[in-house]
Chains A and B, each alone.
Chain A
Amino acid sequence: MPAVQETIDQVRLIDVDQYKYGFETEVEMEKAPKGLSEDVIRFISGKKGEPEWMLQWRLDAYKRWLTMKEPNWARVSYDKIDYNDIYYYAAPKKNPAPKSLDEVDPEILKTYEKLGIPLREQEILAGVEPTNRVAVDAVFDSVSVATTFKAELAKAGVIFMPISEAIREYPDLVRQYLGSVVPVTDNFFATLNSAVFTDGSFVYIPPGVRCPMELSTYFRINEKNTGQFERTLIIADKGSYVSYLEGCTAPKRDENQLHAAVVELIALDDAEIKYSTVQNWYPGDAEGRGGIYNFVTKRGDCRGRNSVITWTQVETGSAITWKYPSCILRGDNSRGEFYSIAVSNGKQQVDSGTKMIHLGKNTTSRIISKGIAAGKSENTYRGLVSAHRKATGARNFTNCDSLLIGNQCGAHTVPYIESKNASAVFEHEATTSKISEDQMFYCQQRGLSEEEATALIVNGFVKDVLQQLPMEFAVEAQKLISISLEGSVG
């Protein structure tokens, strides 16, 4: 089919010039000395004004990390990371802990403006329906530079602040939950993060409270040679509800930058957390130069009865994605959901999926994963569904579909399905295919161009997942997918 050939040719030519967020911001930064050592960790902890227990926690993690090996089971390959060639802390020199927006470096404010992230509450309020308001925590390299709507949220009893602040202001809460879902020793990258995490968001929703607005964190890596190691901790107390969004971008650079985050979610009885991510880190250029290495540990603990955790992710960025947002279904009747779209192009490598660990009775989970591979990329779904002896009545439904665009990419499916309970019912289905030529012809017969037809069909392919995203995010995600497949998609 010559038309498809054309698409493939175009996809091949894709240049990441399509990456709109590749600009750099000129701000003077203060950095920790390059490399990793106890001193650097003390430096970070000191900068954050942390209590002694926190420093100790970090140092323990660091000691542990030194004995660990980088995991190699994922289907990704990359040059060895030199962990001593990275800055673990970089913060704007001018007032790293601004009290209000007026104190924030205007260059940084401009950055967020350019990224389309509203930081001024007044501006957000003007012209926007109050129900659509989103509170934003903006993390710039290693520090949070602004958090909006804090006061209003506080009125509802919701705590939403940079985690570094929470460690100082709510040490008991943080201490109780930090590391309780992703233990310090969980894996190489999580342990590294535990030692050096710099900032991230902390959310606590008190019992019975429905968070009055969407919360979001916007991560930006700006500085060269820096890693970003953020840590997010969200606790939904009994009967509460929160929807949280995460977005990320980085400048275009020839070098690879490391992003190793940890996100922990805790849902107590009858609580619900929706966590949505639109991951758009710089993917590297067509030759595979540069781009973010994204090694992320995200895990939710449905600790209470009837609790619900939903992960929704749209992954279009990063040179390497290594990410398995998971749910531990501990509480009886709890539910875990995972909806994912992973688009890879150029030389991107994606190894992503989820784990649904059924421990409690009548726990249910649902996995919908859509992988789209184009260019010379590799796109792997890796997932685990397991039912333990006591997980009577557990249910899982998994559907993972892959679409290949072009003949130089790979799509792989590696599910692990383990049941130790006879009453558990697991269903898994997976398909790999390409866009059907007949569908293409049908669309073209109605006048759609090759690109338009591809876009339409791809959108149909990912629709089940897009529907899970909050409205504004869904539109953005749809655009992102189109841009990522630019050349094959109009």
Chain B
Amino acid sequence: MLEIKNLVVQIEDKRILNGLNLTVNKGEVAAIMGPNGSGKSTLSYVIAGKEDYEILDGEILLDGQNLLEMEPDQRASAGVFLAFQYPLEIPGVASMTFLKAALNAQRKARGEEELTTPDFIKRVNAAAQQLEIPKDMLKRALNVGFSGGEKKRMEILQMALLQPSFCILDETDSGLDIDALRIVSEGVNALRSPDRAFLVITHYQRLLNHIVPDTVHVMHAGRIVKSGGKELALELEANGYADYRETEAA
């Protein structure tokens, strides 16, 4: 599904990704863990197509398509979804309006019919209910004045609605209370399917208790330095990243 080969990325002369390789297969849930500043968010932005980054080398393929040649909206329509670590606020634009615009833009790009308003509302309501998002929140301007946890839930709502094929969750668990963590995880689990892959970025095992990964990758200094099964996460939880730091120093 997603194949990243030897990705080298810098920003303002600072090298952040250093020859990163990563493959995520269809149906797989891959977790990425790594110390602060190791480049996890950078990786997710580069996959989604944020400007500012200089791609010095490497490629990113989604189902064989070269993502690096596509605009962010084209990537979105191709199925890439990024749940932001820090979701943006858009004053004056009601969440509903935004959701509808996004959904229909993607449908249009894929040559599908636009949804009628009643259909759209039905879908949103269903998703909102599952994620226990109150309706009046949907009427407010997108993310404006939302609490940290509400913003994260809104990200998952969008994911549920847009039905992307490759989902990146960048620290979606941070800022969530215990109940919200369960609700969000259930939302994600409900979307798990043989056709869909996930890249879950997190610092904590507790999320992975809910969203059980197939593979766990350790990222350090802009590289995947170790990959393994879900037990790797437990190991990290116990020992921290000290081993990898030493490796680096040596």
Contacts and interface: CB of A to CB of B under 8 A. Distances in A.
Interface string A440-465: 01111111111011001101111110
Contact of B105 (A1, A437, A452): A452
Nearest to B50: A441
A457 B72 CA distance: 17
B146 interface: no
Tier of interface size on chain B: 20 to 34
B83 to A, nearest CB: 10
A447 B102 contact: yes
B105 A461 contact: no
B119 interface: no
B96 to A, nearest CB: 12
Contacts of A463: 91-93
Given A445-B48, A447-B162, A456-B93, A439 B88 contact: yes
A445 to B, nearest CB: 5
Contacts of B165: none
Given A441-B50, A445-B82, A446-B102, A461 B91 contact: yes
B157 to A, nearest CB: 12
Looking at chain A's contact residues, the main secondary structure is helix
Contacts, number: 87
Contact of B90 (A1, A447, A460): A460
Interface in B94-152: 97-98, 101-103, 105-106, 109, 141
Given A1-B51, A439-B88, A456 B101 contact: yes
A154 interface: no
Contacts of A450: 71, 73
Interface in B28-50: 48-50
Interface in A445-490: 445-450, 452-453, 456-457, 459-464
Contacts of B97: 456
B92 A445 contact: no
Nearest to A490: B105
Contacts of A436: 88
A439 B105 contact: no
Contacts of B84: 442, 445
Contacts of B51: 1-3, 437, 441
Tier of interface size on chain A: 20 to 34
B102 A448 contact: yes
B87 interface: yes
Nearest to A3: B71
Contacts of A79: none
A52 interface: no
A102 interface: no
Given A452-B105, A456-B93, A460-B93, A446 B50 contact: no
Contacts of A438: 88
A450 to B, nearest CB: 7
A456 B90 contact: yes
A447 B93 contact: no
A140 to B, nearest CB: 37
B202 interface: no
Nearest to A1: B51
A5 to B, nearest CB: 11
B90 A442 contact: yes
B172 interface: no
Nearest to B106: A447
A130 B201 CA distance: 57
Nearest to B93: A460
Interface string B54-77: 000000000000000001110111
8 contacts: A441-B49, A441-B50, A444-B76, A446-B76, A447-B162, A456-B93, A457-B93, A462-B92
Interface of A: 1-3, 436-439, 441-450, 452-453, 456-457, 459-464
Given A436-B88, A441-B72, A456-B98, 12 more contacts: A441-B50, A442-B84, A445-B72, A445-B73, A446-B102, A446-B158, A448-B73, A448-B102, A456-B101, A460-B91, A460-B141, A463-B93
